[in-house]
Chain A
Amino acid sequence: MAVTATTNGNTIRLKVSGRFDFSSHQEFRQIYEAVSAEVTNYTVDMSEATYLDSSALGMLLLMRDHAGGDDAKIEIVSCNEDVKKILTISNFGQLFKIS
């Protein structure tokens, strides 16, 4: 899986391509941990993500914790059917804004 990130003012957009699973852990984490203090909003772009497993869900939780927990502003966008289904079953819509 590849993770690319672009920052625009106070928002960082992380794009995930391919399988979002345990092997992506390091990469994903390094990116969100390195954000500058200006960044307050996070967008996770799933347009090219093919698959999401429970460790990916864990990573999203870790990122949310890093971004301020309940105060974090995180949007997960462009989910395909499969990704959306996984997020729905785990009811992550209660923690993240999902589209």
Chain B
Amino acid sequence: MKVQRFDPLVLAELKELLEEEFPELITTFIWDSQQRLALLALAIEAADAGSTRMSAHSLKGSSINIGFAQFAQLCDEIEQTAKIGKLDNCRALLSALLLEAEWVFDHLEILIKEL
């Protein structure tokens, strides 16, 4: 299912909500997500389904709140795949996710610079 890669309205609302704290939110999100991606990679390497699901689930939640639906969907795919035990498939999905993450982080960094 094709989802919107990024919803600018969400970010706009968040900007209005957080005001001066908005840049902090973005940098926190980036930092946090990078940590979780690392943990996710480790979990998949270790064939740890439980940790894979938890990390993927967490990333899904936080990214959806920032408006990056496609990123979130990729996380969901990893979560569901780990749920049914097919950890081998997760590797490929992880690559796709990491690519998407690059795009998201770049986009956000540009956004902050513009403020």
Query: When A and B assemble into the complex, do they touch directly, with CB atoms less than 8 Å apart?
Result: no
Interface residues of B (CB under 8 A from A): none
Residues on A facing B (Cβ under 8 Å)? none
